[in-house]
Structure 1
Amino acid sequence: MGLAERRKVLGYSQEALAHALGVDRTTVGRWESGKALPQPPIRPKLAEVLQIGLVEVDSLVAQPQHRLQEPAESPLSDRHGSGDIDDMIRREFLRAIAITGALASLPGDDPGTLGEGMLRRASVDFLRINGHLWQVYQLARTKRTVYPIVREQLAELSKSMLGRPDSEVRVLCSAAGDLFQLAGELAFDSNRYTEAAASYTLAASASKDAGSFDLWACALVRHAYVDLYEHRYREAAGILSAAERIAKRGDSSLSTRHWVASVHAVAYAGLGDLTACERALDEAEQVRDIASSGNNGGWLRFDGSRLAEERGARYVQLGRLDLAEQALKSALEQDALAEGQSFRRRGAVLTDLAAIGARRRDPEQVIAFGGEALQLARESSSGYVARRLRDLRSEFGPLARDGRVAELGAEIDALSTA
């Protein structure tokens, strides 16, 4: 019996099982098709829901099941691997790095056909297109619509790196470190955390090879977010400590080290350390001392404009609701004056304010702010805002007996399985 059969025996749809586990329906589909495996932290919960032991879970997911078919003539079809196009692109990139490393150690022959000037122009072209894709990503209401273009760019970049000597690959590594971060952001926003982590790992590796400390540190910060959203605060703090050391070797005119500090505050708050959290937030505030904006609008966008909401969110984590509400309402007022404010950021502030209402047992506050966040999630199809709403749902407690709050909870459940 496979995972799909066990699910059906117990009467679960894919949507119902996903909701019980707190994952996306597509994640369950990928498990059942053999394209992905449940990660270790979720397996105990999966065993509980399926009413079996952990050994039986391993047996179920280890069995190859019917895979989803790729188009027969797809230029990106992976005939010898997992069948996952994204995984194929990552493996092609790693293969390119391995081959170029071997070629660099061989004397005499030049395997390349592009001159250095042509290759540098190709790198500039990739970086220019990457910058445009970051802008499209920021402005897109539905982030997933950007991914097909990013996937095509990744495939072209991997192909360009294959067979180049080490000195030339370094020129393209900055473009790869940039683009894999964007690919990770898109996966993260769709709640595909394993894929996001894989992309961030490749981004960090490419950035290191390129000798770009700021790009490298930012890749690590994004990787830490995967642990933060799984509430693995100590693991995230370890990654962020490494990012902090790397950022110190970067460009002091950039805001990298301040972004590291702001995210480090999230880990400290999760660990219940108010003093360290406020110290990190104060360090992040020093971004205002940078003469320029300190960011490039692409892989580094931290400029301190959202520090009020960050501080408010950290106080919510720490249970300091009085301080949190003041900071978050200030952030909403600032956002109302800002142009191009992202749904993701506003949705986070609204869910934090609704969570304060839940902890105070104030149904009016929960309904007002939670309802607005729900509408934003529907309009943007943001997995991030949907995830925040699921976290809010778990805060309802006795308020769930209020008919209006119960209705909001049902709409959040429906959003999570849409």
Structure 2
Amino acid sequence: MAELLGVDRTTVGRWESGRIVPQPPQRRGLANALDISLQELDVLLTPPQGAGQDATGHQPSDPLKAGDPDEMIRREFLRILTVSGALTALPLEEAEALTESVRRGLPVDFARMNSHLWQVYKLARSKGSVYPVIRDQLTALNESLAGSRGSTRPLLSAAADLFQLAGEVAFDANRYSDATASYALAASVSKDADAYDLWACALVRHAYVDMAEQRYRQAAQMLGAAERLAGRGDDNLSTRHWVASVQAEAYAGLGDLDACEHAMDRAETVRDLTADSVNGGWLRFDGARLAEERGARYVQLGRLDLAEETLKGALGQADLASGQSYRRRGSVLTDLAAIGAKRRDVEQVVAYGREAISLARASASGYVARKLQTLCDEFGPLSRDHRVAELGAEIATLSAP
């Protein structure tokens, strides 16, 4: 089984014991090997509920466990959607009055608080540490919505903003269902607020979930809708450039080099905008990562010489960047290790792979761990080398609880 799927034997052993689950890129191959559908595989991988246990997996009399905050946040999401949807028919004069009160900081300047939360998320090594603060912000926002006689665009936009942040935290932790639900809520509330840029960004983030599961055609369709929405948004924002950058990834996944190059060229024009084109929160695309993103696309397309040159340049720029992200550097290192795997260069795979693993552990980043799991799919015959086998075993532990 391990040889058929291109993974280490210890990885299959951990799947069998239930210590870890196969990552999305591995699931399709596993389903094919077992001659079952992806839906049947999901059922097979889902542990049965014990008698008397609730949906979160604990006895009603047990103390709350680590998974409970996720369920609490999910309930807060649904509550906001219910309240905001019921209050969209607010008379114009009441809307203007409430808008002015929000602008003065009454009841809460949610936009400013959300912006602060995005900065905390950006700087946090462990993205999951932001969850308790998000929950507190959700509670305050719910109270503000429930205490008013209606809803306004500032409050709805703040809710859409917060949903996207929570989706990012869930996505980084490989909880795709929670991430998808968060982005869908963000899109729904953005629509009610007529916030086209927010709406487009929610679709972009949703497309990332599709691409993580290698559904590139569906991602391209989602991004096409995001492109149309961004066209109706603010020309001074970088929304349409971010859409183009992510479209390049979808096209690379589809093997379309020309479309990928054209999309990256459109993304490059972000440099023509002013410094005010990003808000540091739900829209952070400023072109600073274009080199590494272009390099990653070349890896997808098999253009290894172009990829290596581009990524090494991006790695040097990243080292000089202020407040360099562990996640960002780990992603570049993983791409460089993937180039080594495609070239059957054990030394390159191990050198870059080990550094990426150390960053994934230091940051608890599910994003880097997910990329490293994809790297294992590239090992092939290299898995017979004991150094590569050890590297694969270390990567497998990144997904363990």
- TM-score tier (shorter): 0.7 to 0.9
Partner of 2:398: 415
Partner of 1:174: 157
Question: After superposition, what is the alpha-carbon deviation per residue over 1:382-414, rounded to whole angstroms, capped at 9, x for unaligned?
Answer: 111111111111111111111211111111112
Is the CA contact (8 Å cut-off) linking 1:264 and 1:277 kept in structure 2?
yes
Distance 1:56 1:133, change over 3 A: closer
Partner of 1:21: 22
Structure 1: how far apart are the matches of 2:158 and 2:259?
35
**126, 129, 135: which one aligns with 1:145:** 129
Instruction: Compute the displacement of 1:155 (Å).
Output: 2.1
Taking the TM superposition and a 5 Å limit, the aligned residue runs for 1:44-123 are 45=31, 48=34, 54=40, 57=43, 65=51, 66-67=53-54, 68=58, 84-101=71-88, 104=90, 117-120=100-103, 121-122=105-106
Question: After superposition, what is the alpha-carbon deviation per residue over 1:79-99, rounded to whole angstroms, capped at 9, x for unaligned?
Answer: xxxx92122112211220233
Taking the TM superposition and a 5 Å limit, the aligned residue runs for 1:17-416 are 17=18, 19-22=20-23, 45=31, 48=34, 54=40, 57=43, 65=51, 66-67=53-54, 68=58, 84-101=71-88, 104=90, 117-120=100-103, 121-122=105-106, 125-162=109-146, 164-166=148-150, 168-416=151-399
Distance 1:56 1:152, change over 3 A: closer
Partner of 1:5: none
Structure 1: how far apart are the matches of 2:176 and 2:262?
29
Distance 1:345 1:98, change over 3 A: same
Distance 1:160 1:263, change over 3 A: same
Distance 1:216 1:337, change over 3 A: same
SS of residue in 2 equivalent to 1:251: coil
Which one-letter code corresponds to 1:161 in the other structure? L
Distance 1:57 1:228, change over 3 A: closer
Partner of 2:5: none
SS of residue in 2 equivalent to 1:129: helix
Identity level (%): 57
Which one-letter code corresponds to 2:22 in the other structure? L
Structure 1: how far apart are the matches of 2:30 and 2:383?
27
Is the CA contact (8 Å cut-off) linking 2:337 and 2:375 kept in structure 1?
yes
Distance 1:115 1:260, change over 3 A: closer
Instruction: Compute the displacement of 1:349 (Å).
Output: 0.6
Instruction: Compute the displacement of 1:238 (Å).
Output: 0.8
Structure 1: how far apart are the matches of 2:146 and 2:48?
33
SS of residue in 1 equivalent to 2:277: coil
Note the residue ranges of structure 1 that are not aligned, 5 or more in a row: 1-10, 24-40
Moved more, 247-256 or 311-320: 247-256
Query: TM-score, normalised to structure 2's length?
Result: 0.85
Structure 2: how far apart are the matches of 1:402 and 1:214?
49
Structure 2: how far apart are the matches of 1:93 and 1:258?
30
Which one-letter code corresponds to 2:71 in the other structure? D
Which one-letter code corresponds to 2:188 in the other structure? S
Determine which structure has greater relative contact order: mean sequence separation of CA pairs < 8 Å that are 6+ residues apart, divided by chain length.
2
Structure 2: how far apart are the matches of 1:70 and 1:187?
25
Note the residue ranges of structure 2 that are not aligned, 5 or more in a row: 1-11
Which one-letter code corresponds to 1:291 in the other structure? T
Structure 2: how far apart are the matches of 1:300 and 1:161?
24
Aligned residues: 378
Which one-letter code corresponds to 1:235 in the other structure? Q
Which one-letter code corresponds to 1:96 in the other structure? V
SS of residue in 1 equivalent to 2:374: helix
